[in-house]
Amino acid sequence: DTTLEGPAELPTVFREGGVTTEGNASGIWDGAAALGMASEDYAAANDLQQIGRLIGWAVAGVDPAHMGIGPAPAIRDVLEQTGLGLDELDLIEVNEAFAAQYLAVERELGLDRERTNVHGGAIAIGHPVGASGARITAHLLHALRREGKRYGLGSACIGGGQGAAVIVEAFN
């Protein structure tokens, strides 16, 4: 139970006078996620229902001191690889390690909040370390299917200065 002012009163976690607190950082939560990938031929031969396909993926590195911005170059790379533009993506999921980290990526790329993290990101639902990439991708495919949409982008920063991004197509 809190107020709008409550999180601003929390102590900062990385340095005195910083902006990251327990109130605007993702919690480390238990969780599991799995993705199964198969060719169309294998899925048909084994009576597997495919819910989507991987269109492209990219991993990029940045100066480790700026690890949170890693999704931005990875997203740029996967967009170039696939020939798609941000305006062609129906939904976008960007893992929120911290609010400031997400806002930097949003600002860098000009992300549309109406299409990004539409069910809440890791700050709202938790960050199951080791499973976040699979969780983001599975959630993205299910959200696209529920809304009758086609293309989605999932991305996350990775400690040490990396970022990863995928573009998927949902089958409806």
For the stretch 80-101, pLDDT in tens is: 999 999 999 999 999 988 788 9
Span 148-157, pLDDT tens digits = 999 999 999 8
Question: Secondary structure of the chain in the HEC alphabet?
Answer: CCCCCHHHHCCECCCCCCCCECCCECCECCCCCCCCCCCHHHHHHCCCCCCEEEEEEEEEECCHHHHHHCHHHHHHHHHHHHCCCHHHCCEEEECCCEHHHHHHHHHHHCCCCCCECCCCCHHHHCECCCCHHHHHHHHHHHHHHHCCCCEEEEEEEECCCEEEEEEEEECC
Calculate what percentage of the chain has a pLDDT beyond 90.
60
Q: Which H/E stretch holds residue 152?
A: strand 151-158
Span 32-67, pLDDT tens digits = 778 899 999 999 999 999 999 999 999 999 999 887
Query: Domains in the chain and their CATH numbers?
Result: 6-170 (3.40.47.10)
pLDDT of residue 98: 79
pTM comes to 0.83
pLDDT of residue 168: 98
Residue 114, pLDDT > 90, answer yes
pLDDT of residue 137: 94
Indicate the length of the chain as a whole number.
Answer: 172
